[in-house]
């Protein structure tokens, strides 16, 4: 029931129709919903070629990469229990958790960029010094690198 409604709403909001849905091993239901094939991970067969095996592994690894994110959202961003009322409360809770997750990712990317820019500034100032100035300030490199930290 849930997968069928999710796939129909997702298909409405896309320009290209969904051809395949990838589920985990816990899914028990139809193999085809509204002309959408439902793929489940299973053991490899003898008749599968190396290409088919690699294709299946790549497809299901992508699905497995989402699971840790959902786990972090549940534990770190209070998605394990919802304190808001009704379906609208569920939507609000999910949107707030996803927004917090994205904001944290953006902040980490920004801090990484700031670190790289500070490091480049240190190298630039060291390159601009003349050799006799470098001899007068032997601890200048240490002082500049302490700025980066």
Query: Which pLDDT score, from 0 to 100, does residue 32 have?
Result: 81
Query: Which pLDDT score, from 0 to 100, does residue 112 have?
Result: 92
Length of the chain as a residue count:
149
- Its pTM surpasses 0.75: no
Q: Pinpoint the alpha helices (H) of 13-130.
A: 50-76, 86-128
Cα separation, 144 vs 125, in Å, equals 9
Q: Looking up tokens 């480049």, which residue turns up? A: 120
Reading the chain (149 residues) residue by residue, the pLDDT tens digits are 678 888 888 888 888 888 888 887 777 777 788 888 888 887 778 888 889 888 888 888 777 777 788 888 888 888 888 888 888 988 898 899 999 999 999 999 999 999 888 888 877 777 776 666 665 666 666 666 666 55
């Amino acid at each position: 029931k849930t997968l069928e409604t999710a796939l129909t709403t997702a298909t409405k909001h896309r320009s290209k129709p969904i051809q395949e849905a990838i589920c985990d091993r816990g899914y028990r239901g139809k193999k085809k919903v509204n002309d959408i094939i439902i793929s489940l991970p299973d053991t490899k067969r003898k008749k599968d070629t190396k290409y088919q095996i690699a294709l299946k592994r790549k497809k299901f690894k992508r699905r497995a990469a989402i699971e840790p994110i959902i786990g972090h959202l549940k534990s770190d961003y209070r998605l394990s229990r919802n304190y808001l009322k009704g379906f609208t409360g569920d939507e609000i809770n999910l949107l707030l958790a996803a927004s917090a997750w994205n904001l944290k990712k953006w902040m980490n990317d920004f801090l990484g960029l700031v670190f790289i820019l500070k490091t480049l500034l240190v190298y630039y100032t060291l390159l601009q010094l003349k050799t006799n100035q470098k001899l007068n300030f032997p601890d200048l490199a240490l002082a500049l690198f302490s700025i980066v930290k």
